[in-house]
Amino acid sequence: MLNQKSIGRYEVVSVLGQGAMGTVYKASDPVIERAVAIKTINLELSREERAEFEERFYREAKSAGRLNHPNIVTIYDVGETEDAAYIAMEYIEGEPLRDVLDSGVVLPLKRICQIAVQVANALNYAHENGVVHRDIKPANIMFEAQGGELKITDFGIARLTDAGRTRTGIVLGTPSFMSPEQLQGRAVTGRSDLFSLGVMLYQMLTGQLPFRADSMPALMFRIAHDPHPPVRVLRPGLPLGVDEF
């Protein structure tokens, strides 16, 4: 079991969050004496599956670690413990954009546009360097409301967990933000990230998701086949141009 007092050489300070695939910690790097965020990925795999995962893990981490952009969280280090793989990355003060939206705060239109532009610029940079995020959503956007700093987290994580999807048949990630080709298991390109950004922008502008349903199959069908309600139907006071986003 993972020792929560330390992960590799890093000394755990606190738990920042927990999900189905692992836990995110705030930790201290005693060598460089700086705060880092540590994301763990649970490894409940057979010997053969683990060997395949390790190859993919280091390949994807290496690709994501090359990214150097002011709106992308920097990856410092990767490694493994007995039960988990981990990624050490830049620690960002602030909170996920999801928490800001869930709190009921309505961001000004100008700020929403600034967020969209910053995320789009970061994605363009990543795509030019051959890296597709695959899980763009408010939970993966770290947001500092006062200073306005914004960073995309978890580059490469969704691809690392794809192997689990093929074994279990489970759609990983957040389906409401996923592109039709992702939900259908087809090849994913940077266009999928842009689709997810569009869904996120729609939610920031209207306070709700463009596609909603009572079941996963119905949601997947709506995303693949149904048009979304125009933004100005839900918020008539917005400028005419927002429906063209």
The residues annotated with a catalytic role in the active site are 135
Q: Which of 147, 133, 131, 212 is nearest to 175 (CA)?
A: 212
Q: Residue 148: which residues within 8 A CB-CB, separation 6 or more?
A: 111, 114
Show the DSSP H helices in 3-161 as ranges: 47-65, 97-102, 109-128, 157-160
| Angle, CA of 23, 27 and 33, to the nearest 5° | 160
Q: Which of 52, 47, 58 is nearest to 85 (CA)?
A: 58
| Alpha carbon 72 to chain centroid, angstroms | 11
Residue 234 and residue 152: Cα distance in Å, rounded?
A: 28
